[in-house]
Amino acid sequence: MEKFVIFGNPVVHSKSPQMQNAGLNHINYNGVYEKHHLEDGSKIKETFLKNGYSGANITVPHKEVAFINADTVKGLAQKIKAVNTYKLVDGKIEAYNTDAPGFLKAIESFGEVKNVLLLGAGGTAKAIAIALQEKNIKVTVLNRSENNLKFFIENNIQAYTWAEFEPEIYDLVVNSTSAGLKDELLPAPKELLEPILKNASFAFDCIYGKITPFLALAKQNGCQIKDGEDMLLYQGVLAFELFTGHKSDNTVIEAMRKGLKGE
Ligand code: NDP
């Protein structure tokens, strides 16, 4: 039986095992997916190999160190410099970033998007910004501090702090900050956000399973809103395809969605 895993710290609340195991069961795959609390990210490669895993997902805070420890990095992950998926191929680790295409798949339901304001400059923002740039969708990053803005500027993506920012009109506003996750905060001051949302058509929050203050404000201002459930689902579906070599049809996707929601 093959073994798959999610590495994180903390990892106890991860919904990936229930989602991935639902997919594996659905296609009768001889494999199981488990959680692994990894304290020291620098041990990710030896832990992966020693435990005989065929594939892994990697979550906070290990995505950057997972990138450094991979034998080969595929696709957009080379630019993002962070990976959330490992696959064992001939004894070597191939690494991917499925958050980026997972995000693009999640916003497909909005229709055509041309100009995006991305709130936050953390690991998730990097994946989203590079994914949008690859699709030739204009993206501007707005963060509360200068932390990490250098990454975007080096990749020719406009990036600002609140103080120096002059808004344009955006079709889509994305919250990739953790404001709203465990608190009731907005990701930027209300007086800055509200006029932007009034002029926008869509708002997306990477946080899932709740209407955050950001999504509530966007809705009040006439935006179509969406939470991060589909992003989590599709990054998982893309990892599942890499793990199993099985192209997922709608029945697999829906089985994984039910697994994710614990249904
Ligand atoms: P990081 O810690 O890498 O980045 C957090 C970002 O949020 C930083 O830009 C930080 O700003 C900003 N921030 C934190 N608190 C506040 C606040 N109170 N007000 C304004 N800005 C704030 O986190 P990640 O990028 O890994 O994750 C971000 C969010 O995305 C989390 O909520 C996570 O749950 C969600 N997520 C969802 C996924 C999905 O599949 N749906 C996948 C991955 C993440 P600063 O730089 O100034 O510190």
User: Strand pairing of 115-119 and 172-175?
Assistant: parallel
Q: What is the pLDDT of residue 138?
A: 98
Ligand 1 atom, smallest distance to 102 CA: 40
Report the C-alpha gap between 14 and 250 in whole angstroms.
23
124 lines ligand 1 (CB under 6 A): yes
18 is in an annotated binding site: no
230 lines ligand 1 (CB under 6 A): no
75 is in an annotated binding site: no
Q: Which residues are 7's β-sheet partners?
A: 36, 58
104 lines ligand 1 (CB under 6 A): no
Report whether 93 contacts 72 (CB < 8 A).
Answer: yes
Report whether 200 contacts 223 (CB < 8 A).
Answer: yes
Per-residue pLDDT of 208-247, as tens digits, reads 999 999 999 999 999 999 999 999 999 999 999 999 999 9
Ligand 1 atom, smallest distance to 147 CA: 46
Distance from residue 247's CA to the centre of ligand 1 (Å)? 31
208 is in an annotated binding site: yes
At 204, the pLDDT band (50, 70, 90 cuts) reads very high
Q: Taking all residues of the chain, what is their mean pLDDT, rounded to a whole number? A: 97
Say what angle helices 250-261 and 16-26 make with each other, to 10 degrees. 140
The pLDDT > 70 percentage for the chain reads 100
235 is in an annotated binding site: yes
> What is the average pLDDT across 179-187?
95
Say what angle helices 99-107 and 229-244 make with each other, to 10 degrees. 130
Report whether 119 contacts 187 (CB < 8 A).
Answer: yes
At 134, the pLDDT band (50, 70, 90 cuts) reads very high
Q: What is the pLDDT of residue 194?
A: 98
Residue to mutate (ligand 1; options 176, 185, 238; most atoms within 8 A of CB) = 176
Cβ contacts of residue 217 below 8 Å, gap of 6+? 186, 190, 193, 194, 197
> What is the average pLDDT across 120-144?
97
Report the C-alpha gap between 13 and 182 in whole angstroms.
14
Residue nearest to atom 37 of ligand 1 (CA): 206
Per-residue pLDDT of 47-92, as tens digits, reads 999 999 999 999 999 999 999 999 999 999 999 999 999 999 999 9
Per-residue pLDDT of 9-50, as tens digits, reads 999 999 999 999 999 999 999 999 999 999 999 999 999 999
**Would you call 75 helix, strand, or coil by DSSP?**
coil
**Minimal CA–CA distance to 212: which of 245, 190, 238, 183?**
183
Per-residue pLDDT of 100-130, as tens digits, reads 999 999 999 999 999 999 999 998 999 999 9
Supply the ipTM of this predicted assembly.
Answer: 0.98
Q: What is the pLDDT of residue 212?
A: 97
Distance from residue 208's CA to the centre of ligand 1 (Å)? 13
φ/ψ region of 78 (left if φ > 0, alpha if ψ in -120 to 50, else beta) reads alpha
